[in-house]
């Protein structure tokens, strides 16, 4: 638990209200809506920084995991980082992030990720860009698929556990997808004012996918559909999902969906009619070097001994010389070694996630290692381009 008395969860409803107002003002959200969301998440997911009893800054977090190399690594997803408007540019943002990281490490968390509205403060805290979330926009009329090789049925409450099972099946073969906690899954449920629509795809009675979308009025009678989550494990399921939306041609204007930088589902379309609409790169922080490296999976064929020299000015226990031994998809990290591969903990994030190759890191000036180690590093951290479906 936190040891700094100026840092911790809100002491009660008055502090929670001030934080909700600060978040509301910063991100142009009604404070009452913000307070309702935070109430749902629980006071234990909020952290505040105070000075002389006055609230200076706050954030909230999701207790989640992130998939790397086919395994889930425990992570905290950070959101709502806000310094009180009158206290900005005086170091409070960075102080809050340092406290949070110390707490996360103490709680046994290996990673942390976030979507940055600004980068310098997070870079100073040891985060670096390490993956993306790409939103695509596709005119419904441009979906020419008509296939019905699978059944689509409205989902029921009983299907929620099925979503998690199908989702994990896909996430394990991707880099960077979240293992969602209750709050992250809860965000897909919609509200009476903004409902979400849930469907399961089945082939011969066996579930092979699901999708969840919301809709927004375009020009009457047209609507835009936003697919908030989709998971199709077979080509037939992917094509059925696209055909579902094609069959909405009479009222559908655009389909918005999120996915990988090169989204496989969209390759079922004959033409490149889905255009990148939004793209936001998330940042990753290696909170506990040993846990992060040992908890993830590695390519089965990779066998290596890598000798690192890590710099970390925020979480000093990560710093120093370490040797990573990798074989049969697993690894062990021990103190010591020659420190041949020199990099800051910040630069390790995009290497760890597979976002940047060792050669790219060298060109950035973020990695210094003997030429012969670069190929080994590339083989050990090889994976598909990291991305996630969620925004938080």
Ligand X SMILES: CC(C)(COP(=O)(O)OP(=O)(O)OC[C@H]1O[C@@H](n2cnc3c(N)ncnc32)[C@H](O)[C@@H]1OP(=O)(O)O)[C@@H](O)C(=O)NCCC(=O)NCCS
Positions in the binding site for ligand X (CB under 6 A) = 26, 81-83, 88-94, 116-118, 120-121, 124
* Size of the chain in residues: 392
Give min distance, CB of 45 to ligand X, in A.
16
CA 99 to chain centre: 21
- According to DSSP, residue 2 is labeled -
Q: Report residue 231: phi and psi, to 5°.
A: -150, 115
Q: Which is nearer to ligand X, 79 or 359 (CB)?
A: 79
- H or E stretch including 217? strand 206-217
Pull the structure tokens for residue 48: 């505040």
Q: Which is nearer to ligand X, 83 or 223 (CB)?
A: 83
Tokens of 87: 């206290």
Residue 60 Cβ vs ligand X, minimum distance, rounded to whole Å: 11
**Residue matched to tokens 């190929």:** 375
Compute the half-sphere exposure of residue 325: CA atoms within 13 Å on the CB side of its CA.
5
Q: Are 357 and 369 in contact (CB under 8 A)?
A: no
Say how far apart CA 135 and CA 275 lie, in whole Å.
Answer: 8
Q: How far is the CB of 34 from ligand X (least distance, A)?
A: 13
**Can you say whether residue 329 is alpha, beta or left, with left for phi > 0 and alpha for psi between -120 and 50 degrees?**
left
Shorter beta-carbon distance to ligand X: residue 91 or 336: 91
Q: How far is the CB of 93 from ligand X (least distance, A)?
A: 2
According to DSSP, the β-strands at 71-83 and 111-114 are: parallel
Min dist. Cβ of residue 186 to ligand X (A): 21
Minimum CB separation of residue 143 from ligand X in Å reads 35
Judged by beta carbon, residue 90 or residue 191, the one nearer ligand X is 90
d(CA 332, CA 245): 47
CB-nearer residue toward ligand X: 123 or 340: 123
Per the DSSP assignment, residues forming a β-bridge with 275 are 137
Taking CB positions, which residue lies at the least distance from ligand X? 93
Cβ nearer to ligand X, comparing 81 with 287: 81
Nearer to ligand X, 113 or 331 (CB): 113
Identify the helix (H) or strand (E) that includes residue 231.
strand 223-232
- Measured from the CB of residue 279, what is the shortest distance to ligand X in angstroms? 16
Q: In the complex, what is the shortest distance from the CB of residue 133 to ligand X, in angstroms, rounded to a whole number?
A: 14
Instruction: Residue 180: name the closest of 189, 167, 169, 190 by CA.
Output: 167
Among residues 345 and 351, whose Cβ is nearest to ligand X? 345
Q: Residue 52's Cα: distance from chain center in Å?
A: 35
Q: Which is nearer to ligand X, 84 or 260 (CB)?
A: 84
For residue 377, give the H/E element and its range.
helix 371-380
What lies within 8 Å, CB to CB, of 150 at 6+ separation is: 201, 202, 203, 208, 209, 234, 236, 237, 240
Least separation in angstroms between residue 42's CB and ligand X is: 21
Instruction: Please give the sequence-ordered ranges of beta strands (E in DSSP) within 293-355, or none if there are none.
Output: 304-311, 320-327, 330-335, 341-344
Q: State CA 262 to chain mean position distance.
A: 17
Q: In this complex, which beta carbon is closest to ligand X, that of residue 257 or of residue 284?
A: 284
Kindly state the smallest distance separating residue 324's Cβ from ligand X, in Å. 31
Rounded CA Rg of the chain: 22
């Amino acid at each position: 638990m936190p040891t700094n008395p100026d840092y911790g969860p809100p002491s009660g409803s008055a502090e929670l209200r001030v934080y909700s107002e600060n978040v509301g003002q910063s991100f142009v959200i009604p404070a009452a809506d913000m307070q309702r969301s935070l109430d749902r998440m629980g006071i234990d997911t909020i952290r505040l920084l105070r000075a002389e009893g006055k609230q200076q800054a706050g954030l909230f977090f999701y207790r989640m995991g992130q998939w790397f190399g086919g395994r889930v690594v425990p992570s905290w997803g950070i959101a709502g980082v806000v310094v009180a408007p009158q206290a900005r540019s005086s170091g409070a943002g960075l102080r809050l992030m340092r406290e949070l990281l110390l707490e996360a490490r103490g709680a046994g968390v290996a990673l942390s990720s976030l979507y940055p509205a600004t980068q310098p403060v997070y870079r100073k805290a040891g985060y670096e860009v390490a993956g993306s979330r790409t939103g695509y926009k596709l005119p419904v009329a441009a979906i020419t698929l008509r296939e019905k090789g699978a059944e689509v049925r409205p989902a029921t409450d009983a299907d929620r556990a099925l979503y998690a099972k199908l989702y994990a099946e896909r996430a394990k073969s991707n880099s960077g997808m979240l293992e969602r906690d209750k709050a992250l899954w809860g965000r897909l449920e919609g509200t009476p004012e903004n409902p979400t629509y849930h469907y399961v795809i089945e082939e011969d009675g066996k579930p092979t996918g699901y999708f969840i979308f919301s809709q927004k009025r375009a020009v009457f009678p047209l609507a835009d559909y936003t697919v908030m989550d989709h998971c199709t494990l077979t080509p037939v399921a992917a094509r059925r999902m696209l055909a579902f939306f094609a069959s909405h041609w009479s009222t559908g204007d655009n389909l918005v969906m999120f996915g990988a930088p090169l989204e496989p589902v969209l390759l079922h379309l004959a033409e490149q009619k889905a255009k990148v609409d939004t793209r936001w790169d998330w940042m990753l922080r290696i909170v506990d070097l040993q846990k992060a490296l040992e908890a993830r999976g590695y390519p089965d064929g990779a066998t290596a001994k890598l000798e690192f020299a890590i710099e970390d000015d925020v979480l000093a226990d990560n710093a120093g010389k370490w040797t990573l031994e990798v074989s049969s998809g697993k690894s062990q990290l021990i103190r010591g070694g020659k420190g041949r591969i020199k990099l800051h903990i910040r630069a390790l994030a995009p290497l760890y996630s597979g976002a940047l190759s060792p050669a790219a890191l060298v060109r950035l000036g973020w990695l210094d290692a003997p030429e012969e180690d670069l190929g080994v590093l590339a083989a050990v951290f090889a994976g598909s381009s990291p991305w996630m479906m969620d925004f938080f």
